[in-house]
Structure 1
Amino acid sequence: MSKAVSALDGVTFEGFAKVEETGLRGMITVRGDLASKEVAEAVKAATGAEMPGLRKVTSGGKGAVAWMSPDELLVVVDYDAANAAVATMTDALKGTHALVANVSDARAVFHLSGDSSRDVLAKLAPVDFAKDAFGSGDIRRSRIAQVPAAVWGNADGSFEVICFRSVAQYVFDVLKVSAQPGGEVGFH
């Protein structure tokens, strides 16, 4: 059996913000009625997290849950725990109209940190990254330059960027260019 590897093997760049590929992450798409008790219980069983509100991320002892659309969540757990989380949620949702799919190997995740990380993102995505508009626990599904991506804010002021694995090199490259010294736009 082959060994799982991340898209860019932990590549990093440090300019006026630090860009790091985070390595393997367990990611599960859950589609269904987000207002249902069954979905909330399934998500809580797999992650320990409550259901997130509109454009929010919640965390529990075993993972995080991100609101992606009116009928879609992204459940994030340790890579090695993804299949067990899928099984837990699938069992909990038996008889319910829902989809649970492990998409871990189809995604890449980047971590942006530093006082100017908002500047990096503001140059690449049509999202208001001002501190009063986008904070900890917020998520937006948008694009980074020319490709689809999701961005969420962490409690420490850093950000996670999730994209398709097939465009990971492109996303890293545009984040790296955007983080080069001299390009701050004034969000810090």
Structure 2
Amino acid sequence: MSDSVPMLKSALDGVAAGRTGLALDLAEVFPQGMVTLRADAGEAFEAALSSLGLPPLPGVRRSTVADGRRLIWMSPDEWLLLCAHGEAADLAQRLDAGLEGVPHAVVDVSDARTVLQIRGAGARELLMKGAPVDLYPASFGVDDVRRTQFAEVACAFWMIADGPPAFEMVVFRSYAEFVWRFLADSARKEAMIRLF
């Protein structure tokens, strides 16, 4: 019996390669570390985050960034931490230990989900094709987050830059190919609609 660990594979496994004729850039952020945190926000929780050098807790429908890690609001008692894939398991263990005595759940979900990136002029319009979210610049800016449905698939997305617009979206790996194909078909130059 072999003790080798299976090689980590992209959720899209080559589906994303070679797509031409798109009006903007689409990519899978791979590999991406992800840790789900559930707890009541309070001094002990915030101290545990701070002790590991993690970003401060974001406000509702917001994200914060520190040292290359992003903490994303998912619900009043849930956050998603994005980090390097290789540090996710260790961070999850250290957070779990740091929250001893505080009701919480910390889970490394890196292999359950994938992150897609949408970058370029028309990124807002592309997301509006699949999500019932007001993405006009006055309503949605850098570090804003929405947890919603995209093409009838559960997801969350956030804005990472505004010049040109860039977003990242997290979906379950089982839906990654469907969401990718929706994005790629909708991002064809002849299919794009420009509002901004």
Per the TM superposition, whether the score is higher than 0.5 is yes
TM-score (normalised: structure 1): 0.94
Please state if 1:160 is matched with 2:168. yes
Contact 1:106 1:165 (8 Å CA) reproduced = yes
Unaligned runs of 5+ in 1: none
Partner of 2:51: 45
CA contact (8 A) 2:161 2:167 kept: no
SS of structure 2 residue aligned to 1:50: coil
Q: Which has the larger radius of gyration?
A: 2
2:6 paired with 1:2: yes
SS of aligned partner of 1:5? coil
Structural mapping, 1:1-188, within 5 Å: 1-9=5-13, 11-12=16-17, 13=19, 15-34=22-41, 36-156=42-162, 157-188=165-196
Map Cα deviations across residues 154-185 of structure 1 (whole Å, 9 max, x no partner).
Answer: 13420001100001100100011111113333
**1:16 alignment partner AA:** A
Question: Structure 1's 42 and 97: CA in aligned 2 closer, same or farther, altered over 3 A?
Answer: same
Q: How many correspondences in the alignment?
A: 187
**Matching residue's letter, 1:111:** Q
Query: What's the offset of the Cα at 1:56?
Result: 0.3
Report the RMSD for the aligned CA atoms in angstroms. Answer: 1.5
C-alpha separation in 2, matches of 1:166 and 1:16 = 26
**Is the 1:47–1:59 contact (alpha carbons within 8 Å) kept by the matching residues of 2?**
no
Q: In 2, distance between residues paired with 1:49 and 1:90?
A: 17
SS in 1 for 2:27: strand
Contact 1:32 1:72 (C-alpha < 8 Å) held by counterparts? yes
Secondary structure, counterpart of 1:182 in structure 2: helix
